[in-house]
Structure 1
């Protein structure tokens, strides 16, 4: 029995909902992997890719682990890229019905139009990468986008914490400002807001439509550089219904099972593990 299956049986999980997995066009993924291989400035550490598999093989690996739904987190790093990525994601989701159709955006003229097109095409979740995109979440070019997503209620996984390395526009402040302007946004704070966990937990405590995903948080790989304070554990329990499992598959430097074990070893109880790894994602996406 593999370690992931053993984990599911131990915690009586009917499956896993993984809200943070990366599937992108091969040319883009190859560049992402080259960046990780070179220890780029946004990582600053050796980062071996554990699941360097072909794009059509990777979904089957997740299915073999009992993952019932996953995402295709895509993100642009420059203008005139997001609409093309979104079209690729339409085709990928059509080939993989268990993929939660994912789209993205960038602060540029026309962003509202292609975001509206993505919503009309059935997008279930968006990805915003403040660090890699190097853009301000409150850029006026995004005002229409945030308004449309607020009205649609579509979740947005947003990498806005300053880990593994800070960007010009990462940190809690810009997100607090964004939510002051668009309080009904359903943001999913990627990586638990690493390393500013406490500040992003406070944002979630103030905004009942804000969620967080566990991606890479609590793992051995990141715990020394960005440890969670023991005093924050009761807050995780209080937010039990708004924390979602995310793995960062395939771009992780450890085995998939470790991401799950990192969640369970917080010792917050069976109900917490089951909610994070399955129940919350099932409810959010009406699966």
Structure 2
């Protein structure tokens, strides 16, 4: 049992991944080739949920994404089916910018049980406010559904034309009615993304990968560069996340750095539970 469970639990993990076995294997192969990461965590839903539950996670979000058109419908359906047999899983949906009817792809997923949208901007080659996904964003607004983006340049996208603080600012200014989260604390432009969380009521960040004890080794980012004061003052806009099962270290390392800071109890409750609950629109 995790010795920090009393501080961490009850928790929500709003950034995990579930994929069909073949697709997950392909994603891991790419990450191993490009980043050198090796993965030991099991990928089956039941095994992922066992890890989460043992740590004290009550609810988690699985974030899908697709790298080519005409994949999203099947992946969204598969993930919603996984949620039907789980007491913990909240499924998000995705859509590719080159799909024929992005609005209906998202609407069908929401009607099937998806609770939000996910875009991996560099992989899907789509900017956060890309005109090609305008209809998808409109459907999300209609359903009051949050949208999580990989919108930062880490860990290998510093020259990518679909990510960065400037493009995320365009999203925030264009869609003030949407709740949007930039994963990984917006690394490597963390200062700019922290300012977004400070300035925009609809802007959120998650700590995934960036605040792990292994961040320097895995992505060249120093978690210590973000002071405690940032988490205390912005705890209602920052939430924990993990990327489980696609992390090249034990799950406990995702939260160990934050727990080691001796943050106020109220701040921890926000980071590990309340902010995600608000972001996801869950009841009290």
Match of 1:7 among 4, 13, 36: 4
Unaligned runs of 5+ in 2: none
Deviation at 1:63, TM superposition (A): 1.8
Matching of residues 88-103 of structure 1 within 5 Å: 88-103=78-93
Matching of residues 27-46 of structure 1 within 5 Å: 27-38=22-33, 40=34, 43=35, 46=36
**2:72 alignment partner in structure 1:** 82
The 1-side partners of 2:171 and 2:256 are apart by 33
**Would you say the 8 A contact 1:195–1:227 is kept in 2?**
no
Decide whether aligned partners of structure 1 residues 249 and 148 sit closer, same or farther in structure 2, where only a CA change above 3 A counts. Answer: same
**1:61 alignment partner in structure 2:** 51
**Would you say the 8 A contact 2:117–2:145 is kept in 1?**
yes
The 2-side partners of 1:31 and 1:140 are apart by 29
**1:173 alignment partner in structure 2:** 166
* 145-154 vs 165-174, greater mean Cα deviation: 145-154
Decide whether aligned partners of structure 1 residues 266 and 223 sit closer, same or farther in structure 2, where only a CA change above 3 A counts. Answer: farther
Decide whether aligned partners of structure 1 residues 228 and 257 sit closer, same or farther in structure 2, where only a CA change above 3 A counts. Answer: closer
TM-score by length of 1: 0.90
**2:131 alignment partner in structure 1:** 140
Unaligned runs of 5+ in 1: none
Deviation at 1:177, TM superposition (A): 0.8
How many residue pairs get aligned? The number is 277
The 2-side partners of 1:60 and 1:234 are apart by 33
The 1-side partners of 2:227 and 2:178 are apart by 24
TM-score by length of 2: 0.90
- 2:205 matched to 1:212? yes
The 1-side partners of 2:144 and 2:183 are apart by 18
Match of 1:250 among 235, 245, 248: 245
Match of 1:264 among 255, 259, 267: 259
**1:158 alignment partner in structure 2:** 149
What is the alpha-carbon root mean square deviation over aligned residues?
Answer: 1.9
The 1-side partners of 2:262 and 2:187 are apart by 20
**Would you say the 8 A contact 1:76–1:133 is kept in 2?**
yes
SS in 1 for 2:63: coil
